[in-house]
Structure 1
Amino acid sequence: MIKAILASVSASMVLMACTHAPNIAGDASPINTVNMSETAKTLASDEFLGRAPGTEGETLTVDYLIKRFTELGLEPGGRDGAWTDPVTLNHSVITEARTLSVSQDGAAIDMVQGRDIEISSANPRDIIRIEDAPVVFVGFGVSAPEREWDDFGTIDLKGKVALFLVNDPDFGVTDDHPVSNVFGGRRMTYYGRWAYKFEEAARRGAVAALVVHETKAAGYGWNVAASSPGENYAVAGKGSAKASVDLQGWLHEDMARQWVERAGYDLGALRTAARQRDFTAFTLGDLRFNADLALTVETVESQNVLGKITGATRPDETIMLSGHWDAYGVGEPDERGRVVRPGANDDALGLAGIMEIARNLKAAPPLERTVVFAAWTAEESGLLGSEAYAQDPIYPLETTVANFTLDILQTAGPARDVIQVGEGQSDLEELMAMTAAAQGRVISPEGLPENGLFFRADHFSLARRGVPVLLIMGIAGGSDLEVGGREAGDAWVKDYIDNRYHNQNDVWDAEWDLRGAAQDVELFLDMTRELGNSTAWPELKPTSEFKGLRDASAASRK
Structure 2
Amino acid sequence: MIRAIFASASAALILAACTPAPEADSAESASPPISMENMSETVKVLASDEFMGRAPGTEGETKTVAYLIERFEELGLEPGGRDGKWTDPVTLKHSVVNDIRTLSVSHGDTVIPLQQGLDININSPNPREDIAVQDLPVVFVGFGASAPERDWDDYGDMDLTGKVALFLVNDPDFGVEEDHPVSGLFGGRRMTYYGRWAYKYEEAARRGAVAAFVIHETKPAGYGWNVAASSPGENYAVAGNGPAKPALDLRGWLHEDMARQWLTNAGYDLDELKVAARNGDFEAFTLDDLRFNADLGLSVETVESQNVIGKITGTERPDETVMLSGHWDAFGIGIPDAQGRVVRPGANDDALGLAGIMEIARNLKAGPAPERTVVVAAWTGEESGLLGSEAYAQNPIYPLETTVANFTLDILQTAGPAKDVIQVGEGQSELEDMMAAAAAKQGRTVSPEGLPENGLFYRADHFSLARRGVPVLLIMGIAGGPDLVDGGREAGIEWVAGYIANRYHNQNDAWDPDWDLRGAAQDVELFLDMTTDLANSEIWPDLKPTSEFKGLRDASASARE
TM-score normalized by the length of structure 1: 0.96
2:328 is aligned with 1:320: no
Mapped to 2, the partners of 1:240 and 1:488 lie a distance apart of 47
Q: Which residue of 2 aligns with 1:286?
A: 289
| 1:477-556 equivalent positions in 2, closer than 5 A | 477-556=480-559
Q: 2:155 aligns with which of 149, 152, 158?
A: 152
Report if aligned partners of 2:102, 2:293 keep a CA contact under 8 Å in 1: yes
Which residue, out of 399, 403, 406, partners 1:403? 406
Correspondence for 1:194 among 197, 201, 207: 197
Could you tell me which residue of structure 2 aligns to residue 10 of structure 1? Answer: none
Deviation for aligned residue 1:242 = 2.6
Question: AA paired with 1:277?
Answer: G
> Does the 8 Å contact 1:240/1:391 carry over to 2?
no
Alignment of structure 1 residues 439-458 onto 2, 5 Å: 439-458=442-461
2:34 pairs with 16, 31, 35, which one? 31
Aligned position for 1:243: 246
* Whole-angstrom CA distance in 2 between matches of 1:80 and 1:189: 38
Q: 2:277 aligns with which of 271, 274, 299?
A: 274
Q: Distance in 2 between matches of 1:521 and 1:242?
A: 37
Matched AA of 2:224: G
Q: Deviations over 1:105-151 (max 9, x none)?
A: 12110000000000100113111111100000000000000000000
Find out whether 1:207 has 2:183 as its counterpart. no
Are 2:41 and 1:41 aligned?
no
Give 1:18 deviation, angstroms: 5.1
**Unmatched 5+ residue regions in structure 1?**
1-15
Tell me the CA shift for residue 534 of structure 1: 1.1
Query: Match of 1:51, SS?
Result: coil
CA distance in 2, matches of 1:553, 1:290: 47
Q: How much does 1:240 deviate?
A: 5.7
Map residues 350-361 of structure 1 onto 2, 5 A cutoff.
350-361=353-364
1:4 paired residue number: none
2:353 pairs with 1:345: no
**Structure 2 residue identity aligned to 1:425:** Q
- Structure 2 unpaired stretches of 5+: 1-23
Preserved contact between residue 26 and residue 442 of structure 2 (Cα < 8 Å): no
State the identity %.
78
Instruction: State whether structure 2 residue 23 is matched by structure 1 residue 20.
Output: no
For 1:26-105, what aligned pairs fall within 5 Å after superposition? Answer: 28-105=31-108
Deviation sequence 1:80-127 (CA, Å, 0-9, x none): 100000000000000011100000112110000000000100113111
The match for 1:378 among 358, 378, 381 is: 381
Q: Distance in 2 between matches of 1:457 and 1:444?
A: 19
Q: What is the count of residue pairs matched by the alignment?
A: 538
| Native 8 Å contact 1:157 1:205 kept in 2 | yes
Take 2:33 and 2:26, find their aligned partners in 1: how far apart are those partners?
16
Amino acid at match of 1:368: E
1:153-192 → structure 2 map (5 Å cutoff):
153-192=156-195
Match of 1:231 in 2: 234
What pairs up with 1:358-437 in 2 under 5 angstroms?
Answer: 358-437=361-440
Q: Distance in 2 between matches of 1:491 and 1:18?
A: 29
The range that moved more, 119-128 or 135-144, is 119-128
Q: Tell me the CA shift for residue 389 of structure 1.
A: 0.2
**Counterpart of 2:306?**
303
- Hey, what's the Cα distance between the residues in 2 that align with 1:111 and 1:362? 55
* 1:221 match: 224
d(CA) in 1 for partners of 2:333, 2:173: 38
- Residue type of the partner of 1:376? W
Structure 2 distance, partners of 1:137, 1:552, is: 37
Structure 1 residue 399: Cα displacement: 0.2
Q: Deviations over 1:447-466 (max 9, x none)?
A: 00000000000000000000
Q: 1:17 & 1:73 partners in 2: Cα distance?
A: 33
Q: Aligned partners of 1:358 and 1:242: how far apart in 2? A: 37
41 and 226 in structure 1: CA distance in 2 versus 1, 3 angstrom threshold: same
Give the superposition deviation at 1:241. 5.7
Q: CA deviation at 1:365?
A: 1.1
Q: Residue 117 of structure 1 aligns with which residue?
A: 120
Alpha-carbon distance between aligned partners in 1 of 2:117 and 2:470, rounded to the nearest angstrom: 37
Counterpart position of 1:3:
none
Tell me by how many angstroms 1:35 deviates. 0.2
Kept in 2, the 8 Å contact 1:257–1:267? The answer is yes
Which of 248, 252, 255 aligns to 2:255? It is: 252
Q: CA deviation at 1:244?
A: 1.1
In structure 2, what is the Cα distance between the partners aligned to 1:315 and 1:228? 42
Q: Please report the RMSD computed on the Cα atoms of aligned residues, expressed in angstroms.
A: 0.9
1:414–1:482 Cα contact (<8 Å) kept: yes
Matched, 1:136 2:139: yes
User: 2:21 matched to which residue of 1?
Assistant: none
How far is the alpha carbon of 1:17 from its aligned partner? Answer: 8.0
In structure 2, give the amino acid aligned to 1:249.
G
* Deviations, residues 49-83 of structure 1 (Å, cap 9, x unaligned): 00000000000000000000000000000001000
Q: Secondary structure at the match of 1:134?
A: strand
Q: CA deviation at 1:393?
A: 0.1
Using the alignment, how far apart are the partners of 2:509 and 2:155 within structure 1? 41
The residue type paired with residue 454 of structure 2 is N
Amino acid across the alignment from 1:460: F
Task: Describe the superposition over 1:346-392 as per-residue Cα deviations: whole angstroms up to 9, x where unpaired.
Answer: 00000000000000000011111000000000000000000000000
Contact 2:95 2:236 in 1 (8 A): yes
Aligned equivalents of 2:485, 2:199: Cα separation in 1: 38
Quickly say closer, same or farther: Cα 1:554–1:315, change in 2 above 3 A.
same
Q: How far, CA to CA, are the matches of 1:444 and 1:528 in structure 2? A: 21
* Distance of 2:147 and 2:547 partners within structure 1: 14
Q: Give the CA deviation at 1:536.
A: 1.3
- Counterpart amino acid of 1:184? G
The separation in 1 between residues aligned to 2:283 and 2:289, in whole angstroms, is 18
* 1:426-454 superposed Cα distances (whole Å, 9 cap, x missing partner): 00000000000000000000000000000
Q: Distance in 1 between matches of 2:418 and 2:59?
A: 38
The 8 Å contact of residues 330 and 344 in structure 2, kept in 1 or not, is answered as yes
Aligned to 1:332: 335
Tell me which amino acid in the other structure corresponds to 2:81: G
2 CA distance for matches of 1:514 and 1:99?
A: 49
- Distance in 1, matches of 2:234 and 2:308, equals 24
Report the residue type matching 1:19 in the other structure.
Answer: A
Is the CA contact (8 Å cut-off) linking 2:103 and 2:294 kept in structure 1? yes
Query: Structure 1 residue 19: deviation in Å?
Result: 3.2
CA distance in 2, matches of 1:238, 1:523: 34
